[in-house]
Amino acid sequence: MAKSESGIMIIICIYSAYLLLTAPLFHCVLGGNDGIGATYDGRSLIVNGEHKLLFSGSIHYPRSTPDMWPSLIAKAKEGGIDVIQTYVFWNLHEPQQGTYEFSGRRDIVRFVKEIQAQGLYACLRIGPFIEAEWSYGGLPFWLHDVLGIVYRSDNEPFKLHMQNFTTKIVNMMKSEGLYASQGGPIILSQIENEYTLVEAAFGEKGPPYVQWAAKMAVSLQTGVPWSMCKQNDAPDPVINTCNGMRCGETFTGPNSPNKPSIWTENWTSFYQTYGEEPYIRSAEEIAFHVALFIAAKNGTYVNYYMYHGGTNFGRSASAFMITGYYDQSPLDEYGLTREPKWGHLKELHAAVKLCSTPLLTGTKSNFSLGQSVEAIVFKTESNECAAFLVNRGAIDSNVLFQNVTYELPLGSISILPDCKNVAFNTRRVSVQHNTRSMMAVQKFDLLEWEEFKEPIPNIDDTELRANELLEHMGTTKDRSDYLWYTFRVQQDSPDSQQTLEVDSRAHALHAFVNGDYAGSAHGIYKEKGFSLAKNITLRNGINNISLLSVMVGLPDSGAFLETRVAGLRRVGIQGEDFSEQHWGYKVGLSGEQSQIFLDTGSSNVQWSRLGNSSQPLTWYKVLPIINSNYLEFKCSLTDLCHCHSLLIGQTQFDAPPGDDPIALNLGSMGKGAVWVNGRGIGRYWVSFLTPKGEPSQKWYNVPRSFLKPTDNQLVILEEETGNPVEISLDSVLITKTCGQVSESHYPLVASWMGAKKQKVRRVKNRTRRPKVQLSCPSKKKISNILFASFGTPSGDCQSYAIGLCHSPNSRAIVEHACLGRAKCSIPISNLNFRGDPCPHVTKTLLVDAQCT
């Protein structure tokens, strides 16, 4: 922590009538008086004495791997990001009370230091309740058993543990010198998370908790500001911030004129649950609302949630969440740039940064330019000027601003860094689009599989007994997704069919009668429970009923999370209620307890050769070497030489060559979990289809750091009846790049910036031409032009055709400029295409190219 010359750290917040009237001059001093550190005033955050206009991106360290962190942060920086924002995951770091873990993907210090090494700032959202579609909202489940605890309220047991963990993290950051007040990268922290959504439920225990949380955080003296998101009454000096997709419209503003306008979560997509389609939010929409927030709300800090979503490895996802997280972010689940989102936002950031001085020091004025159209102008005393022309309407408009006519597309904002020239329009995308493809690099049908059928326990196999239905989560204590409920039924009559009826508040259920599978059922994300009704056969004598209750993640939101109920709520057979029967319980599966997904645990069970028929609850393991009998069997079905050539290089599960991301294609499976070399890839639920009849997620990320060069072990728990033989390991590739730019588009901001420096205007006009710019990923080049048309092509980069106007030179010009190159640029001009194919018509160039 930085100190003043007298060695005393000062925290001074001065409130006076005069300063309230001159808010831009006011700031709350949180660093030392030497100017080192982070402070704020009513205009922006102030870092090391300088007002800052900041773009931030959320990247959660445990949702990727340490070897991915440098690349993710570098791509964020290249995209114009200034700050990396992350939650801190309490249950990841303190899984057992007083036992802390900070290694591997948990190494938050290493993550923050990597941010610092790349010259970016960091925002630490400590929470420690975070929601974040993370299991139990980030709270460790051991809190559930703390006597008298009520989460997130004015409750002494909860406040004690919350303060202990928050202090632990703060002290860790201080000891490494990572706060800006110490010369580190952390410029902002967050306490609590969207508490407004639940505060009313706690009645009189809510407001005191807010006051306590703010006071506790500030007392830790980090030397940087604290924030509370979606908390309009955040106590001074904590900053209230906005979350959502449209904070330029919905944010009521800071609760003090002395606080800056901050957007902590601008959702670039949305979380996805099993059974739902992905939510696609366009680059144009995101850019519009960012520009609107900056212009209309004086916003000077915008964070994208998420900038890279990553992967919910192992059992970390919350209820019903798919394993991939925010795959539609500017950097996808695998860390690849998703275009045009990444590039269009990069252009936005560059355009806004050209307006920095007027935005941070100027006076704002609003001018109506017509219905649903306005100009928001920022002007300094030295006449530096920036304008945002806003069209909220549903039609294109031609607007007159300062005696110049500007074309303003519907639902868009044009940014004029000098109040004269348009550098960027939120609706006109001048950057490339790309296409992600999966290519199989390792088939598993030629490898030898073994299986282990999970034993179905009866009540005699259980040690935990009760004369009631126990609550699922409180019984498993988050040690497993699975809880066996077993009981016994005496049938004194001959064998007969009867109806088994079960009501559950868990997520899925598998029923077994006398060890035989009887049926399954599951719930959906938006419903609290589900029911199973199956006809079963009860034999004369004793019948063992075994019901496997399954949680697909713990809940992550809502008030009184500690009282949430899951598991079986009623069990009946032919109308008779067995809920208060004598029950036996078993937490988890035998395979889990033996840890058969590890090398050390695999030998604890008896594996057998993969059979011709499958049954629910089966573990599968791929062996590293094909034995001679298997080879002979395979080769007897085909040409021997051809078979031999197929098997060379495929007798082992080796890491694919190269550095492309890789994923398991589990399209042939049903529901379960996967481990590679003992590391949990995550849950899968391929059989839970969306309304369009497709799995919510078919490919599952396998980080290369999880793999050894050779002899990798793959273990799968299949709850249903999937076929592991059809699994493949696929490379994740950017295979196509496409550009669609018209004469009415604006050039990329880089050309605007370069032209601005030119003193001769004709040079500026010549250099500022729209262009189609294409680039392939590292180590790939443009190998084929799939489509090229200069004129009036129909469609877009997803589907296209030659229109009524088309230059016959289109393909030749594009091929000459692009083939064999990693990137190329084609100016949009009649001269470049050797003539005007359709005079007096606005022309477009659409190019689709293949990268190999």
Q: Which of 94, 133, 192, 265 is catalytic?
A: 265
Q: What is the DSSP string of 144-170?
A: GGSTT--TTSS-HHHHHHHHHHHHHHH
Q: Tell me the two tokens of residue 401.
A: 């601003």
Q: Which of 194, 374, 448, 471 is catalytic?
A: 194
Identity of the amino acid at 279? Y
- Cα(40)–Cα(119) distance, rounded to whole angstroms? 21
Between the alpha carbon of residue 107 and those of residues 111, 172, 721, the distances in Å are 6, 11, 38
Helix, coil or strand: residue 355: coil
Torsion, Cα of 557, 562, 563, 566 (10° steps)? 70
Let me know if 743 is a catalytic residue: no
Q: Which has the closest alpha carbon to 320: 133, 483, 193?
A: 133
Residue owning tokens 């599978």: 517
- Cα(714)–Cα(622) distance, rounded to whole angstroms? 6
Identity of the amino acid at 355? C
Specify whether the CB–CB gap between 845 and 739 falls below 8 A.
yes
Residue 453 sits at the vertex; the CA angle it makes with 452 and 455, to the nearest 5 degrees, is 125
- Cα(312)–Cα(317) distance, rounded to whole angstroms? 5
Helix, coil or strand: residue 275: coil
Specify whether the CB–CB gap between 493 and 540 falls below 8 A.
yes
- Cα(358)–Cα(355) distance, rounded to whole angstroms? 6
Q: Which has the closest alpha carbon to 225: 236, 211, 238, 210?
A: 238
Contacts of 140-144 spanning 24+ positions with Cβ under 8 A: 140/90, 140/91, 140/94, 140/95, 140/96, 140/97, 141/91, 141/473, 141/477, 141/478, 141/554, 142/95, 142/96, 142/97, 142/477, 143/562, 144/473, 144/474, 144/477, 144/562
- Cα(77)–Cα(95) distance, rounded to whole angstroms? 33
Specify whether the CB–CB gap between 549 and 588 falls below 8 A.
no
Let me know if 194 is a catalytic residue: yes
Give the relative orientation of helices 69-78 and 108-117 as an angle to the nearest 10 degrees: 40
Specify whether the CB–CB gap between 622 and 714 falls below 8 A.
yes
Identity of the amino acid at 151? Y
- Cα(491)–Cα(573) distance, rounded to whole angstroms? 12
Is the backbone peptide bond immediately before 340 cis, with ω within 30 degrees of 0?
A: yes
Task: Give φ, ψ of 590 to 5 degrees.
Answer: -60, -40
Task: Give φ, ψ of 88 to 5 degrees.
Answer: -115, 130
Please, is 605 exposed, middle or buried when counting C-beta atoms within 10 Å of its C-beta (0-12, 13-18, 19+)? middle
Active site residues: 194, 265
